[in-house]
Each structure stands twice: as structure tokens, then as C-alpha cells.
Structure 1
Amino acid sequence: MTRLRAAPSRVSPRVRAWIAAVLALISGYVIATARQVIVRPPLMLSQDSVPPGVSAPAQVSLENVGGPVITITPVGQKVTTLLVFYPGGLVRPQAYEWLGRALTAQGVQTVIPVFPLDLAVTGVNRASGLIATYGQGKRVVIAGHSLGGAMAAQYASGHADQLAGMILMAAYPAGNVSLRETTLPVLSLLAEEDGVADPQAVRDGLKRLPENAELTVIPGAVHAFFGRYGPQKGDGRPTVTRAHAEDDILRAVGAFLERLPKP
């Protein structure tokens, strides 16, 4: 009987070592990337949230309504508006606390839900519970940044009659989402030097928004200037300071809220 012999390996030990090293690097990268997504940075309130200019007193707390939610409530004045804000993808929700604090001067209570893995796609309808808990007697506006804005638009497409307005920051409705047939007031903000959200896609998204939707360009700003979470890979190069951009964002948002009907 003829015995079959295994063919000798033609891969040299040196090549095998290189292959093992490359596989180890790839595995390390995958593990490190997965860890960044799964293990989120700590949720720390009020550490980087002082808005530009003079702000009104605010009470900031972490509550539980269908999951953790940051609430920013004006102190010593009547609350007329509830702003439900969906954070950008993989962005910690406290990055938008500055905006909520600034808006308290207009009687706005802001609630920022904490989503699993910091991805609003995991809880598109989270706004319903927040509106039921905090929205009584107030006009309700939904807003979101980047992926959070896309998810806010998706929510609004099925609940437009419960909302007084919507604010999108460097965001637009997904291709299968349309609010064209509604009369919901919408403000779309576009950072002039945005390198993450395609400016043309933001403009094209207006075709899936109500005809009265407003587009406002924030001069010199980049994608990461809407939230305080540091530089973002692939983003553009700003030509203004963050503080200058935040002032422009606040003016645009504040003017939009002023134009909405009172509750």
C-alpha cells in the first residue's frame, strides 16, 4: 500500500512570522475599535457646558425615563418649550449640555436621552416616553445632530402632529423618510466647512422636508462644532473659533424657536 505523504510547506518561517504579525495587528485593531464602541467614556455632567455669553440659571440632572436622560431645566422662570435632542453617533450626550444650558434663557427645557452604545438608531422612538413625561403644557421640538438628526427626522415623520418644530444639525432624513407632506416647521443647520456630513446631501435632504423648511449655513464651522466632544476624524478645517460658531448656532436656533407658535 502506498502511503501519501504531506506536501512540504513552501512557506518559509520568515513569511509565516510576517503573516502572524500582520494577523496580530489586525486582531488588535479590531479589538481596540470594538472596545471604543462598547466601552463608552464616563457620563460626566457640567464639566464642559458653560455656554457662550450670559446664561440663565439651570438645574441639570440625570434621570431615568425608559433609560438614562439628561434633563436641563430653567430655574426661576416658566418653561414653555420642551426640546428633545438626539446626540450624534458615538457622541456622549453631555457634549450638547452647553446648548441646553444656553436655551434656558428662552424658557426651554432640554432632555438628552442616553442611547445604548451612544447610537440613536437603537431607540428611534425614545422621544415618545420623554414627551409623555416632560411635555405636558409645552410646545415640543425635536432636534438632533448628524446620525441623531437622521433618527429625529425618522421619528418626526410618524409623529409630526405631536411636534411644534424640528431642528437638524448637519443632518438630513434618510432616503426612505419624508416629511414633505407635513407642515412641520423645520430648521436645517449646515456647517460651512463640514467634512463629515456631505453639504450636498444636507441640501438634497431639503427635498424630503416640508416646503417651508429653512436652511441656515453656519459660516466657518465644522461638523464637531455642534457638540463639545473634540475633533472628529475626516472633519473639515474651521475658519472661525468654536465660540464664534456656537454664537451663530444659538442665534439661529433661538430665532427659530421665537417664530414658533406659543403653547
Structure 2
Amino acid sequence: MLVPLGFIGGQIGWMQLNPATPGAAAEAALASSGDVEVSYEDPWLIFAPRGRPPATGLILYPGANSDVRGYAPLLRALAEAGYLGVGIQMPLRLALLRPEAAAEVPPAFPKVTRWIAIGHSMGGATISGYARDYPERLAGVILLDAYPLEGTTLADSPLPVWHIHRARPDGSPPDKHAAHRHTFPPHAISVPIPGGNHMQFGSFVGGTYREDWEAQISEAAQLRQVEDAVLRAARAIAPPNDE
């Protein structure tokens, strides 16, 4: 079915008027401290551990219509654990408009020798395409409530792949996730967040995403579970430094 360009433009315009902006937890996580240095030079939001040169970094693609600063709690947790975290603010807040933006990050951090791709929602779908095309550039992939784009698959990927997703209270995934299980490699590790919802993978206010269900756990509880799961995935893929 053909979709009129005017309709698409109208949808994008409506999204731009209703972005998902950083919530209170994200705002609190954006301040530098004795352990973590935070900098935001558009389009990069950088969380770097102080005094511990990281050998592994994570490149984060945000979800559609989401300000990258909403993922500050997660990026801060990674830096506190010794990883470099680089979130990329996308044009019009749509990762699909810059699918290969990750390629610009490693040259800016030559001492970081290993990179993990991480993305939420449409950002995860988009960065999975980057992982498919350039597996030699990455140590692994972490998808947050996301699956590969239509027509894209990681089923044959040699990379470690982790899928951290919202789930019903019994741990079962949303129907769309179950339907896309074949796009993950057999060795992919799935981590459900029972009772979680889609937008609580970051700390956000507003936005246009329509949830499948109301969260059964608080934002703070879900953020803790997401951070724990991502850290577990990152440590399984590569240590933060070479010591």
C-alpha cells in the first residue's frame, strides 16, 4: 500500500511537536561527578569514567522521537562500571535518518579498542542494520525492546546479541517481539523485564509512543532492572578495560 508523502510529513511534524524529553531521573543523571565526566556536544552525549581509561565503549541509538538525554541513567551506570558511553542525538530524533552514525564515534576515541552497539526501539532496529553490515567493527549488540528492521536479520550474525525487552507479568514478550524471534541468532540471550513498558527503558516525559499495556512496575524499578541487564550483557561481551 502506498502512503501519501503528505501523510508521512504530517506524522513527522506531529512527532516533532510532541517529543519525549528527559524526565527527572535523566536530568539528575546528567551532572558530572568525581567518578563520571558528562559532556553533551550535539549530537554526542558522552559519559566517561574518570581515572579509569576504558577499553570498551557502547554506542547508543535512541528510540524514535526520543531525546538521547533520556537515556542518561543507563549511560551513567555504564560509566560508573568503567565503560565509555556515547549516545547519539539523531536528526529529527529519528535514527533511520543517520543509520551509520556509529561509524563516526571510534575515530574520536582511539584508546577504546572494543565497541558494543546498543539501541532502544527504532534506534535498536536501526543499529541492528549497522551490526549486520559491519560486524567486524563491533564486539556485540544489545537491543532494548527492539528487533531488526523489516528485511533485516541478525540470524546469521557471529556477534553476541542480547535482547532486553518489556514483558507481561508472566515474562512473555509482546506479540511483535515473538513474531520476530527468527531475526535473532540462535545464541541470542533474551532478558525479559516483567511488568515493564516501552518508554521506561529511559526516563522520559511526553512523547508519542502508544504503549501496549500500562507498566506494572515503577520507572525507578524498571530503570534498575534495565541497567542491571545491560551491565550483565556488556560484561559478558567485553570487560570495560584491559586490566
TM above 0.5 = yes
Q: Which residue of 1 aligns with 2:236?
A: 259
Runs of 4+ in 1 over 4 A off after TM superposition: 30-33, 38-47
Q: Give the Å deviation of 1:139.
A: 1.5
Residue-by-residue CA offset, 1:92-124 (whole Å, 9 max, x unaligned):
110001111111122111111111100000000
TM-score normalised over the length of structure 2: 0.82
Aligned amino acid, residue 58 of structure 2: L
2:68 matches 1:77: no
Q: Which residue of 1 aligns with 2:210?
A: 234
Distance 2:174 2:20 in 1: 29
Picking from 84, 92, 100, the partner of 2:75 is 100
Distance 1:211 1:163 in 2: 19
2:202 matches 1:224: no
Aligned amino acid, residue 62 of structure 1: Y
Distance 1:32 1:212 in 2: 37
Aligned CA distance change for structure 1 residues 257 and 115 (closer, same or farther; 3 Å): same
Picking from 159, 173, 178, the partner of 2:153 is 178
SS state at 1:34 partner? helix
Q: Which range moved further: 233-242 or 110-119?
A: 233-242
Q: Give the Å deviation of 1:43.
A: 8.7
Would you say the 8 A contact 2:49–2:84 is kept in 1?
Answer: yes
* Structure 1 gap segments, 5+ residues each: 1-29
2:29 matches 1:50: yes
Q: Which residue of 2 aligns with 1:118?
A: 93
* Equivalent residues in 2 for 1:188-199, closer than 5 Å: 188-193=163-168, 199=174
Picking from 18, 24, 37, the partner of 2:16 is 37
Distance 2:94 2:22 in 1: 15
Distance 2:20 2:223 in 1: 24
Residue-by-residue CA offset, 1:40-92 (whole Å, 9 max, x unaligned):
688999962439xxx9721111236xxx2111111122313211000000001
Distance 1:214 1:142 in 2: 15
SS state at 2:27 partner? coil
Q: Give the Å deviation of 1:132.
A: 2.3
Q: Give the Å deviation of 1:193.
A: 4.6
TM-score normalised over the length of structure 1: 0.76
Would you say the 8 A contact 1:82–1:135 is kept in 2?
Answer: no
Structure with more contact order per residue of length (Cα contacts < 8 Å, sep ≥ 6): 2
Q: Which range moved further: 212-221 or 36-45?
A: 36-45
Q: Give the Å deviation of 1:127.
A: 0.3
Q: Give the Å deviation of 1:252.
A: 1.0
Would you say the 8 A contact 1:169–1:226 is kept in 2?
Answer: yes
Q: Which residue of 2 aligns with 1:9?
A: none
Q: Give the Å deviation of 1:169.
A: 0.8
Would you say the 8 A contact 1:206–1:213 is kept in 2?
Answer: no
Q: Which range moved further: 134-143 or 244-253?
A: 134-143
* Structure 2 gap segments, 5+ residues each: 1-8
Superposition CA RMSD, Å? 3.0
Distance 2:118 2:200 in 1: 16
SS state at 1:140 partner? strand
Identity, % of aligned positions: 25
Distance 2:59 2:231 in 1: 15
SS state at 2:203 partner? coil
